[in-house]
Amino acid sequence: MPKSYREDSTDASFDEAVEDDEADALVDVSIDASNLDLESMPTRSSKPKRPRRAATTPKPRQTKRSKPSSQVGGVLHKRAKTDEDDPIFLCSGVIPPWQTLPYQILLDIFLRASHPLLDESRSARNDSVKWLVHIALLCRSFHEPALAALYHCPPLLPAYKSHVLLSLLARPQESLSMNYSSKIKQLHVEVEPVLIYKSGPYGYFDISQLIAKTPRLHTVRLYHKDDYTVGIPPWHIVQSKWTYPDSLFSAIENRGVTLRSWDWNSRFLETDELIEMMVNMHSERAFQGLKELKLLHFDNSNDETSAVKEAGLLESLDMLPDLQRLDFIESSLVSGEILTNLPSTLHSLTLNNCDRLWSSDLTVYLSLHGTNLRELSLSHNRHLSMSFIQNLAQCCENLEVFKMDLSMHDASSYHDVEPHFEDLLVQSEVPTWPVKLREIELTQLRKWDDATAEVFFTSLVNVAPKLRDLRRLVISAILKVGWRDRATFRERWIGLLEKVFLRRSKPPDHNLRSLQKRSLKPTTLITRNDPDELDVGIENSRKSTADSGPSTFSKRQSTRLAHQKSIETDDAASGSSLVGTPHLEAVKMQGMCDVVNIRIDNQRPTELQFNENDFLDDELSGDEDWAGDDF
């Protein structure tokens, strides 16, 4: 075989370098602070030149017959594929001194831009992990805040990364570029791959050793990937091989950790035993400061022991004086008795797929403890109607976020996806809305008639002037009426709700940049007594306006006036199209919502709603026209 003089490609080495950067992110990222600067960018290392070889006479190439340019069935003049997703970025060319921002501001920016670092439903890392590593290597000022954002809640997947992190924390922190152990505030651990199985030569991972080296830890989440699957019957939930070890709680207590957020999952321990453990652990000092608590899969498989389990659950919750957020996920144990005796300190309550929850139970709870609620989220509760909403404003005067999802999920064989109440609302139950609401999201409202739906939407329009803080309004409703009546109803109410709630003026464009300074030209004062000079001044001003570009005051003013006229024209047109709406003359506008998404149809309730854009090709155009040259 003749010797080849082809040079090796450097693409593979570049990919390996990027992977090494990501792998070393959980080990150590040491940077020479004296040599780093914002303007200094990494350069490619110079390679020694290869010795020049003697030129050889090339072999004569064999001539081949040229193929016809047009193949049978091919496109003659194919259009160039254009990418419309990348808009042209216009800026003034001025880069702000980001490196001069304080540490806490940079940390907050990186946290908001990168988190979450893990996609827990897929058990995979997000691209923001590698982005934080590159940001840490960009500038001396970005080094510590970027790594602090990475280690704030370190991604422990793949499983061997947890062992690498533990070995990093075991090293003397004084010898490293920063104290990594003090940066870890939260631990989100997927039990199945990290704690149950071995990680190759690393062996099993002990989470108690990791907690013992994190003095500023305040949040621990031990979750299972199947927790994100909604609608699994309790008898189909497979009990995990892992359970809560005593060494875990000993490490938390010995380290002096004060927890602020914790999850109890009945997938890791039977409900009876788990409630007994909760009663014992909530009395410990580490759990006394809990502010957020999530309870998953607390089932009520045996009616004879339900009273004992409810009493134990309420006892464990009463031991938490600072509890502000409580989430019940897939918990059939939740009933009216539990709701009535919940702590009055709650600011947020989430009830997700609780089968023993009725509207009357929620009405009693809101009348007793609804004053302090700021957020109420109700999703996939089969027996829960909206009858409680007629007293919502009186019972929850401080409510800011109200979400309700009536889509049902059932993974069993009979696949029951219908709610088990007769009517969502009756016509006499007029909804009331708290005036401090910032967000309203109601999904798949169904089992009502058009008269009740009209009462519902009318209540929103009437209270619109009082909802000054409302910024997001999302409602999807299902009406089973004739298609003509539904089309008339949709045209009338969607237009009216958008007219009343949607923001009138567009928010400032975040892509705009500061304009460059123009040289100030001397201006001449013109008196009103000389019309000739007035004409000359006007002509000069027009010329200067045309020469100064789009950033002059006169053009901006004319654009603003044209925009105001277009808004007035649209308002007049929309008002004329809604003449049939009752009491339109007395309607007052709110006009402060950034998002108003109203959907009224008769589709079957599904988890994903598709429209025309989901079935279009990525290319700008479809098949080319046939030119007749295929034969």
- DSSP one-letter string for 108-165: HHHHHHH---EETTTTEE-THHHHHHHHHTT-HHHHHHHHHHHHHS----STHHHHHH
Most confident of 24-38, 371-385, 537-551, 605-619: 371-385
In tens, the pLDDT along 424-444 reads: 999 999 999 999 999 999 999
At residue 85, does pLDDT exceed 70? no
pLDDT of residue 228: 82
Nearest one of 178, 170, 381, 189 to 268, comparing CA atoms: 189
Distance (Å, whole) CA 541 – CA 526: 12
Average pLDDT over residues 191-207: 93
Contact call for residues 283 and 314 (beta carbons, < 8 A)? no
- Across the beta sheet with 595-601, the strand order is 186-190, 219-223, 261-265, 292-296, 325-329, 348-352, 375-379, 401-405, 439-445, 472-478, 595-601
What is the identity of the amino acid at 142? F
Confidence tier at 133 by pLDDT (50, 70, 90): very high
In a domain, 497, yes or no: yes
At residue 147, does pLDDT exceed 70? yes
Lowest mean pLDDT: which of 206-210, 568-572, 623-627? 568-572
At residue 34, does pLDDT exceed 70? no
Most confident of 106-110, 480-484, 529-533: 106-110
Q: Which residue has the higher pLDDT, 24 or 326?
A: 326
pLDDT of residue 426: 93
In a domain, 569, yes or no: no
In a domain, 92, yes or no: no
Distance of CA 48 to the CA centre of its chain: 50
- DSSP one-letter string for 457-509: HHHHHHTGGG-TT--EEEEEEE--S-HHHHHHHHHHHHHHHHHHHB-SSPPPP
Contact call for residues 177 and 151 (beta carbons, < 8 A)? no
Nearest one of 103, 80, 98 to 149, comparing CA atoms: 103
Q: DSSP 3-state helix, strand, coil percentages of the chain (rounded to 5)?
A: 40, 10, 50
Query: Cα dist. 474→94, 408, 465, 596 in Å?
Result: 39, 18, 18, 6
**Residue 557 region by backbone torsions, left for phi larger than 0, else alpha for psi between -120 and 50, else beta:** alpha
Distance of CA 136 to the CA centre of its chain: 24
Lowest mean pLDDT: which of 299-303, 314-318, 324-328, 545-549? 545-549
pLDDT of residue 239: 87
In a domain, 578, yes or no: yes
Collapsing DSSP states into helix, strand and coil, what is residue 563?
A: helix
In tens, the pLDDT along 453-482 reads: 999 999 999 999 999 999 999 999 999 888
pLDDT of residue 226: 87
Lowest mean pLDDT: which of 204-218, 313-327, 437-451, 568-582? 568-582
Burial of 435 (0-12, 13-18, 19+ CB in 10 A): middle
In a domain, 434, yes or no: yes
Beta strands in 301-364 (DSSP E): 325-329, 348-352
What Rg, from alpha-carbon coordinates, does the chain have?
Answer: 33
Collapsing DSSP states into helix, strand and coil, what is residue 189?
A: strand
Query: Cα dist. 142→91, 299, 547, 560 in Å?
Result: 23, 48, 43, 41
pLDDT of residue 236: 78
Distance (Å, whole) CA 279 – CA 47: 67
Average pLDDT over residues 121-146: 94
At residue 524, does pLDDT exceed 70? no
Average pLDDT over residues 238-249: 93
Q: Which residue has the higher pLDDT, 411 or 491?
A: 491
Distance (Å, whole) CA 513 – CA 91: 5
Lowest mean pLDDT: which of 54-58, 213-217, 279-283, 291-295? 54-58
Structural domain boundaries, residue 394? 358-508+574-611
Query: Cα dist. 304→275, 277, 299, 300, 301 in Å?
Result: 16, 20, 13, 9, 9
263 C-beta neighbours (distance < 10 Å), count: 19
> Is the pTM here over 0.85, yes or no?
no
In a domain, 546, yes or no: no
Collapsing DSSP states into helix, strand and coil, what is residue 521?
A: coil
Distance (Å, whole) CA 306 – CA 299: 9
pLDDT of residue 235: 75
At residue 17, does pLDDT exceed 50? no
Q: Which residue has the tokens 């089992």?
A: 447
Give the residues across from 261 on adjacent strands. Answer: 219, 292
Q: Which residue has the higher pLDDT, 29 or 287?
A: 287
Q: Which residue has the higher pLDDT, 232 or 167?
A: 167
Average pLDDT over residues 192-217: 94
In a domain, 499, yes or no: yes
Collapsing DSSP states into helix, strand and coil, what is residue 403?
A: strand
pLDDT of residue 94: 76
Distance (Å, whole) CA 22 – CA 448: 54
In a domain, 153, yes or no: no
Backbone angles phi and psi of 113, in degrees to 5: -80, -20
Query: Is residue 404 within a helix (H) or strand (E), and if so which, with residue range?
Result: strand 401-405
Contact call for residues 295 and 264 (beta carbons, < 8 A)? yes
Average pLDDT over residues 203-217: 95
At residue 623, does pLDDT exceed 50? yes
Per cent of the chain over pLDDT 90 is: 58
pLDDT of residue 130: 96
Confidence tier at 540 by pLDDT (50, 70, 90): very low
Collapsing DSSP states into helix, strand and coil, what is residue 417?
A: coil
Q: Which residue has the higher pLDDT, 533 or 505?
A: 505
What is the identity of the amino acid at 510? H
In tens, the pLDDT along 314-326 reads: 999 999 999 999 9
pLDDT of residue 77: 54
Domain count for the chain, please give it.
1
Contact call for residues 172 and 183 (beta carbons, < 8 A)? no
Per cent of the chain over pLDDT 70 is: 68
